[in-house]
Amino acid sequence: MEILKRYARITFGCALFAAGFALFLEPADIAAGGVSGIAVIVTHLWTAVDGGTVIFLLNLPLLIVGSVVFGGRFFFGTVWATTVSSAMISYAEHFVYPPVGDDPYFCAVTGAVLTGIGMGLIFRYHATTGGTDIVVHLIQRKIPDVKVGYIFLLVDAAVVLASGVVFESAAAVFYSALALTMNTLVLNLTLYGLPKRTNPTE
């Protein structure tokens, strides 16, 4: 029963992540870091493929590394999260047509909040969506005092900068950086909650 509850919660996190990416970030060409950000760039350059397929293919070698380093529980949870989120993204891209509008600010913030909550839930139940999530977990094992969201911020900054080159737009960098920052804050809140207030008299 506990296993079913765990995978149900991971699946819910996948749904939020997929919705944020496929319905808001990708349509607005917002590459907010990570493998999903790389997928936005790839699908912009190569329109014949969808983002879910790109994300799944890029994740395969990292999943192999993760299985060796983290063991079975983490590996199976991550395979599930990666497969389910990729399938949900592909489905949304092909069959769901929401009125997301053409406001990149709205898309950046909404997409970042949804993906941040989704990733936080997936992390909380000992899985990841693959990609740089695995890289971040490896770094955190070496530096456990650094919060996950801040490691993501450093790892993913290169993807944000690359989006500006590919899209030839400073605005693309701005909105991608905004989404990445929002995602980091929401991810940390989902994982750790609000910072505890300290008593100034102590």
Instruction: Please indicate, yes or no, whether the overall pTM of this predicted structure exceeds 0.85.
Output: no
Q: Considering the domain boundaries, does residue 168 fall inside one?
A: yes
Spatial distance between the Cα atoms of 164 and 114, rounded to a whole number of angstroms:
23
Q: Where are the alpha helices (DSSP H) in the chain?
A: 2-20, 34-45, 51-70, 72-95, 104-124, 132-142, 148-167, 170-192
Please say if the pLDDT value at position 47 is more than 70. Answer: yes
Give the whole-number percent of the chain exceeding pLDDT 70: 88
Among 175, 142, 174, 139, smallest CA distance to 154 is for: 139
71 pLDDT tier (thresholds 50, 70, 90): low
Q: Considering the domain boundaries, does residue 201 fall inside one?
A: no
| Per-residue DSSP letter, 197 | P
Taking CA atoms, 200 is separated from 126, 192, 197, in Å, by 35, 22, 9
Please say if the pLDDT value at position 42 is more than 60. Answer: yes
Q: Considering the domain boundaries, does residue 202 fall inside one?
A: no
Spatial distance between the Cα atoms of 8 and 5, rounded to a whole number of angstroms:
5
Spatial distance between the Cα atoms of 169 and 69, rounded to a whole number of angstroms:
39
Among 132, 120, 121, smallest CA distance to 32 is for: 132
- For residue 122, which phi and psi values (nearest 5 degrees)? -65, -45
Contact 179, 111 (CB under 8 A): yes
- For residue 106, which phi and psi values (nearest 5 degrees)? -60, -45
Q: Considering the domain boundaries, does residue 51 fall inside one?
A: yes
Q: How many domains does the chain have?
A: 1
Name the token pair of 116. Answer: 């941040």
Q: Residue 162: how many CB atoms within 10 A of its CB? A: 18
- Residues 160-181 have a mean pLDDT of 86
Among 26, 182, 28, smallest CA distance to 112 is for: 182
Q: Considering the domain boundaries, does residue 48 fall inside one?
A: yes
Spatial distance between the Cα atoms of 168 and 172, rounded to a whole number of angstroms:
8
| Per-residue DSSP letter, 130 | S
Q: Considering the domain boundaries, does residue 197 fall inside one?
A: no
Q: Considering the domain boundaries, does residue 52 fall inside one?
A: yes
pLDDT, residue 40, reads 87
Spatial distance between the Cα atoms of 44 and 38, rounded to a whole number of angstroms:
10
Range of the domain at 120: 2-192
Spatial distance between the Cα atoms of 138 and 5, rounded to a whole number of angstroms:
26
Please say if the pLDDT value at position 194 is more than 70. Answer: no
Cα R_g (the chain), whole angstroms: 16
Q: Considering the domain boundaries, does residue 198 fall inside one?
A: no
